[in-house]
Amino acid sequence: MADASDNKLFEGLRNALLRADRVADFALRMARSGGQVPAGLVGDFLEARVALEREFVKCHDRLSTDLRARLKELILKTKNLKPEVMAQGAERLVERIRGVLNDLMIDGGLPLSLTQEMFEEASRQSTLDAAPLAPATKQQAAAKSAETPRAKNWGPVIMVAVFLLAVLASVAAAWATGLFESSPANSMATNVAQAGNQPVPAPPRPANSPPVEGAAAFDAKAVGYTRDLKPQAHYVALNLLDPDLDLAVLRATEWPSLLLSLEEDLARIEPARLKLGPADTWRRLLRFAESAAAADATWRSSRKPFLDSFVAHCRLETQVVLFPEGGQVLPSDILHAKGGPRLPLILLLCALAQASGADLVVIAPMGREFPLLAQAIKAGIATFDGEQLGLRSSAGKEPSVREMLAALLEKLRPTLATPAARVWASSLIYRCLGDLSLTQAREALADLELGTLSQLAPREPEQLERYNTQRAAIRLLQPAICRVLFDSSARGDGAEAARLLELALAVGDGASTEKALLLLAERAQKGAQFRGEPLPFVVGRQLLTRGDKVGAQGWFKRAFEEAPDHAQTALELAALAENADLKRYYLRCAYARGWRQAAFLRELAVMQAQAGELLSTLALLDELCALEESTAQDLAEAALICLALERPAWVQERIAASRFAREPAILRLDLIAELALNGLSERAKALAQAYGKRGQDDPYIESLLSRLGG
């Protein structure tokens, strides 16, 4: 038995276990009713598990060995829990948590047992009167309690536990029958929500019971009949991607118009997706609204709670049932197929209610993954599932219209066949939420047709509309996609970084382009290329444009190593070289890699000449003179190198093969070479005469001729 000073620590552990038990119990009931547990509920349990682990660490040394082992096993086995695993093992999970909790009460000397506390909490949340135990049951319980001192102390607890198990069994049976049975005759009478739908403090009676003669006056307002139903005769089409349309100010009464506008947009983008046309869908909604308004008086006379009556009428008129998760997500899908998954089905029921003028709303006790159709009455929040919302601190959050739309679009997007339609859905999700999740950003990036930004606008009206929609979507989604996928937590691969770079370049976003380049360089493998050039070279050029020479030099050196055949990398390194020798080295590397631009050859020839490499300089000048971009000055430089090497014959060979042989500067060099090779020959005289006719006044040539007797 723990000391009294430890009770505070045990209290924190008990609260953590109770929190986990409430979530697991809710998961158990959901698994029994629908066979599934939403991801949001699993998230709630994992949060409770974190709190449990924290409290377990605090009082680890104060627990008994057995209890410590059981808690450790519970914490370890619930790590990384998946919805399908939780659905299958919910019952076992509840048993483990409650067993540990009961042992903690004994081991820690806390005043309440689990069963007693749960019973008191259930009493606070329900207006149902507990049925008294039979005398025989009391006698048996008393006899058993007298067997041992411990049994004597825990006798009332055991009786309460037995009673609680009976109550839980009845609740589970009611839950299992549910709203969406195949037979419309199965009304909401079996749901335990009747307790919340009844006025307080009168004890409830079955929702479908006939009026009792002489009973008290029926309080219609208390059970939800706040106003007469009136069909919504018209709806206003909304342009959901219009930036002037503020989705945050849309009211719940505009939900039918929003859904119909959604289907009208989809009819233009991907018409094959719709099971019914938007006009037919609206006619069905309006027909239901008229039938609900006509039946309102009958519901009141039957003294049934409004929410029960409305849901039963939905089942009767539309024959909707609960389908497994799948592609039936639009109102047209559900009305055509007579059923759909939970979220879309609840949103359709909300649309039917708003089209009828009913004051019913959608609440989300488990987040957007698990919505409920609800109504506020005197007894609290009444939901069609029959749950008094006590799992969280609040009675359930009423999601905004844009949150409901985003949740529906997340279900709709995977059912669309064309990239254009999926991009449209991603754009709407972004408009609703103001951002994208990691998964949404990756999906949108994969569907964007970036080539649209570089294409000319088509002339056909239908193609032009899609063209404009795609361009607008790219520009709308690009900042959000880059912001999410640039984050270090995204952990994408090189292909994703390359796609991000393409997106940033397509829209001309310089900041995103730079980030995408760096991200791509980090993720890409050695030797990776981008648009035909080594990736490190591209990154270095990008850094150079913003003035980061040190960073650029590092990337150029990496490219120099990874791509030994890339000449431009050597040129960039030569431009950043700090001394002449290093610059000449990189220029020679560029030459060895096949770079032969005229300006480059001139620069390298000068560097080689300065270093005294005359033969190498002459070879470079010969290559330069063979190019179309060569000039007479290039030939003159080559001739001067030949004369410096005392090879006048080389001068004459080069001049004879050049198209600049009759230029005055070239005639002069040819004459000098001839005089050096053959003296004052007949060819030298002819060259001197031709050079003189050009009107050139050259003291050096005249002195040569005079010395040779010319």
d(CA 650, CA 641): 10
Question: pLDDT at position 135, please?
Answer: 37
Supply φ then ψ for residue 534, to 5 degrees. -60, 135
The closest of 644, 643, 694 to 667, measured between CA atoms, is: 694
Q: Which helix (H) or strand (E) holds 381?
A: strand 380-383
CA dist 574 and 568 (Å) reads 10
Quick one: pLDDT at residue 353? 94
Alpha helices per DSSP H over 338-460: 342-355, 401-412, 419-433, 438-447
CA pair distance 496, 441, nearest whole angstrom: 11
**Three-class SS state of 269:** helix
Low-confidence ranges of the chain (pLDDT < 70): 1-7, 107-216, 386-396, 692-698, 708-710
Task: Return the pLDDT at 297.
Answer: 93
Q: What length does the chain have? A: 710
Contact 500, 485 (CB under 8 A): yes
The set of residues, in sequence order, having a beta carbon less than 8 Å from that of 613 and lying 6+ positions away, is none
Write down the pTM of the prediction. 0.61
Return the domain boundaries, the chain.
4-176, 229-413
pLDDT of res. 386: 56
The predicted pLDDT at position 120 comes to: 43
What torsion, rounded to 10 degrees, do the Cα atoms 312, 316, 320, 321 define?
Answer: 60
Quote the pLDDT of residue 6.
59
pLDDT of residue 710: 58
Determine the pLDDT at residue 396. Answer: 65
Token pair listed for 383: 């939901």
Residue 308 to residue 489: CA distance in whole angstroms: 46
